[in-house]
Structure 1
Amino acid sequence: MLQTFGFSQYESKVYETLAGSSEPMDAALVVKHSGVPKAKIYEVLSRLIEKGMVLDTVSEKKKLYAALPLPSLIDKLTRQFQQDMEQLAASLTPKRVIDDRVWSLKVDASIRAEIKQMIQQASESIRIMAWSQDFADYLPLLLQKEREGIHIEALVIGSLETGLSNVHLLIPSKEHNGLEKSQLIVADERDMIFAGEEQGQWHAIKTGAQPFVKFFADFFYHDVALSQITQKHYDLLFGDEDIRKMLVRLRY
């Protein structure tokens, strides 16, 4: 019977012999009724004890053995089967291999498609920065992901009503009008895309290389800090010619 569950023939015979007895048995009786050789009996009993299939005790200086009751055996084997299946499923689950190559991508439509795909695949967090016209294209997806419980933090350059919980806005000054646009997304702290527009053409890099991912995540918060400081102290900062020129030289 137990051979079906991966036990040896001797183990199965010993357990069935003990399970069929109304009283505990010593090794000699197990040999007699199971047919397992005397030279093997203690080894087999020891394995069954280690596997929790057999109980042992000492009574009147004699070692006795009893089988784990059948209901308990069924429960044990069921639990073990479930655990084995869970371990098998875990071992067969495709492991994510980090692609630390830096990929180059061109064309606005292709870059937008990749950013949308990254938003859809995010399972934990999204940091995203874009100018308002571009951000509006991603907004429906971002709202859906936030409803699913994904943490989203966004920086929008320009005026835009998003409905997202955690949004930072930076309204460019007139000196910023000539700056090229850019976009950044960091998903799940694992992957990132940074795209920039130069002379009307979009170029992007995409990578899972952690040094780049961490750098651009910090870069995102650099921009957030800049936007908050600028908004809070706008008159002071832009009222000073030297500071204004320095700020204008930054990305925004």
Structure 2
Amino acid sequence: MDTLDQLKTLGFTTNEAKAYIALLGCEPASAYEVAKQAGLPTSKIYEVVARLTNRGVFQASEDDAGNLHYYAMNPRDLMASIRSKTIMETEQLLPELQKITANSQSNLIWPLLDAAQVQSRTIELLHQAKQSILISLWPEELSWAEPALRAAENRDVRIALVHFGKPVITIGATYHHPVERTLYAEKGGRGLTVVVDGSQVVIANFKIGDVVDGAWSRNESFVTVAEDYVKHDVYITKVTRFLGPEVVERFGEDYRKLRDVFDANA
């Protein structure tokens, strides 16, 4: 997503985004100069400039001859203003929407269609955590989840983290899953499971070839299954850590026989 598209996601029209970007590079400038720099028709620029001025994104300055020139709000100040306004509006809107939300929504499972959606929803859940976090993940996902996990740890949220691959950092109770190579081969990629406060879950698969699919839900059954999955992995890591040589001797390298659920004698 380029800069123009990103500004559009923040509420700018295409012409407004073009005008803002153009003025940043040529301020102070007249409306005509902004139109020329942005590649916009002069017939439209005055309306665009007026809207941006009314919103405080542009600041007008009149010279001695009565000509108007414009300055663009500093990008850092603009982002801070948008962030503050968005937070205020969402906090005001949330309780009103919750009044009309059907309880049946708690049973829905919402798809997460790409890595960005998975990352955004996961970080959001981690920031919401008040009591507990159960999380199972690989180094690639820990790299972006670590700050939110650290913040939760600082809030005294209890954390159990199952790490596929030898962990280089410790957050809460950290466990090294002993069969990461076997799992990667079986699944054709990496998995992520996050359960927060026993009430919300994110599950995702990051498959070979950058194919990502995931889901988020408050569905009680879905949450319970995910919670048990992470806890089961914790049980396994504890057993293999304290009985390592015996378990390897019994079940083989990477505990392959242990994972053969269709052979009770393996």
Please tell me whether residue 245 in structure 1 is matched to residue 218 in structure 2: no
Aligned pair partner of 1:218 in 228, 232, 245: 228
Q: Deviations over 1:197-220 (max 9, x none)?
A: 334311112110111111211111
- Cα distance change of structure 1 residues 124 and 175 upon mapping to structure 2, 3 Å threshold: closer
SS of the aligned residue for 2:258 comes to helix
- Measure how far apart 1:172 and its partner are: 3.3
Q: Is the 8 A contact 2:111 2:216 kept in 1?
A: yes
- Cα distance change of structure 1 residues 124 and 197 upon mapping to structure 2, 3 Å threshold: same
The amino acid that maps onto 2:249 is G
- Cα distance change of structure 1 residues 140 and 167 upon mapping to structure 2, 3 Å threshold: same
Aligned-residue CA RMSD (Å): 2.8
Q: Is the 8 A contact 1:103 1:205 kept in 2?
A: yes
Please tell me whether residue 141 in structure 1 is matched to residue 148 in structure 2: yes
Q: Is the 8 A contact 2:127 2:151 kept in 1?
A: no
Identity of aligned residues (%): 17
Aligned pair partner of 2:118 in 100, 105, 111: 111
2:213 maps to 203
1:234 maps to 244
Q: Is the 8 A contact 2:162 2:234 kept in 1?
A: yes
Q: Deviations over 1:80-116 (max 9, x none)?
A: xxxxxxxxxxx99957956210112221222111111
Structure 1 or 2, whichever has the larger Rg, is 1
Q: Is the 8 A contact 2:178 2:240 kept in 1?
A: no
Give 5+ residue unaligned stretches, structure 2: 1-94, 262-266
The amino acid that maps onto 1:247 is L
Please tell me whether residue 183 in structure 1 is matched to residue 201 in structure 2: no
- Cα distance change of structure 1 residues 241 and 208 upon mapping to structure 2, 3 Å threshold: closer
Please tell me whether residue 124 in structure 1 is matched to residue 131 in structure 2: yes
- Measure how far apart 1:161 and its partner are: 3.0
SS of the aligned residue for 2:179 comes to coil
Q: In structure 1, how many angstroms separate the alpha carbons of the residues matched to 2:204 and 2:141?
A: 11
Give 5+ residue unaligned stretches, structure 1: 1-90
- Cα distance change of structure 1 residues 100 and 173 upon mapping to structure 2, 3 Å threshold: closer
The amino acid that maps onto 1:222 is H
SS of the aligned residue for 2:107 comes to coil
The amino acid that maps onto 2:125 is M
